[in-house]
């Protein structure tokens, strides 16, 4: 089973950016933990990409069709703004889990709207870096259930 991990804008600043909101863990540490958890689950992280560019994230999503089984996605600020990324995910029909470090529902009102939650397999938010690991576990469980149903 192959998983793509996508991190949206400003997540490359983790560890320095607003530690009271996002913690002190760096993105490279989060990626390391995701890969370790993936190995424990017996799956492969094909790639882990952070981009501040909406178009680069769209290209990665487009390339995911037929190349990966699922996507673990923290759209970050694009959560509240990107119809284009939503359409890309709908277009490739690769199951994905939306993850957030902070509890976006407990923050500013504009952060309470997600363009992705209704089309995601699930959403995990508010657990800091652990959100990614919980999201990965849920995504893998979902993919295994789908595989078993087809068998």
Q: Where are the domains of the chain?
A: 2-150
Does the active-site annotation cover 80?
no
CA distance 37 to 81: 30
Label residues 90-129 b or e (16+ Cβ within 10 Å = b): eebebbbbbbbbbebeeeeeebeebbbeeebbbbbbebeb
pLDDT of residue 107: 63
- The catalytic position among 22, 78, 115, 132 is 22
Instruction: State if pTM tops 0.85.
Output: yes
pLDDT of residue 15: 85
pLDDT of residue 32: 98
Q: Is 116 helix (H, G, I), strand (E, B) or coil?
A: coil
Question: Is 95 in contact with 27 (CB distance < 8 Å)?
Answer: no
In sign, the C-alpha dihedral spanning 121, 98, 143, 136 is negative
CA distance 140 to 42: 9
Residues 80-113 pLDDT 10s: 889 999 999 999 999 999 999 987 775 666 666 8
CATH 3.40.640.10 matches 2-150: no
β-pair partners for 70: 3
- The catalytic position among 7, 62, 78, 100 is 100
Does the active-site annotation cover 22?
yes
How does the average pLDDT of the chain come out, rounded? 93
CA distance 116 to 100: 12
Kindly state the tokens that stand for 60: 């990665």
Reference 6, options 44, 54, 39, 41; nearest CA is 54
CA distance 86 to 40: 30
Q: Tell which wins on pLDDT, 139 or 25.
A: 139
């Amino acid at each position: 089973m192959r998983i793509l991990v996508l991190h949206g804008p400003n997540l490359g600043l983790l560890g320095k950016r607003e530690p009271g909101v996002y913690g002190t863990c760096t993105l490279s540490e989060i990626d390391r933990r995701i890969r370790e958890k993936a190995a424990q689950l017996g799956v492969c992280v094909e790639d882990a990409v952070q981009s501040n560019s909406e178009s680069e994230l769209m290209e990665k999503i487009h390339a995911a069709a037929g190349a990966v089984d699922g996507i673990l996605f923290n759209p970050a600020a694009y959560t509240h703004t990107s119809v284009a990324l939503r359409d890309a995910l709908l277009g490739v029909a690769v199951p994905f889990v939306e993850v957030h470090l902070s509890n976006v529902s407990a923050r500013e009102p504009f952060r309470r709207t997600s363009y992705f939650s209704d089309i995601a397999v699930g959403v995990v938010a508010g657990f800091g870096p652990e959100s990614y690991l919980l999201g990965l576990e849920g995504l893998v469980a979902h993919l295994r259930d789908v595989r078993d149903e087809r068998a």
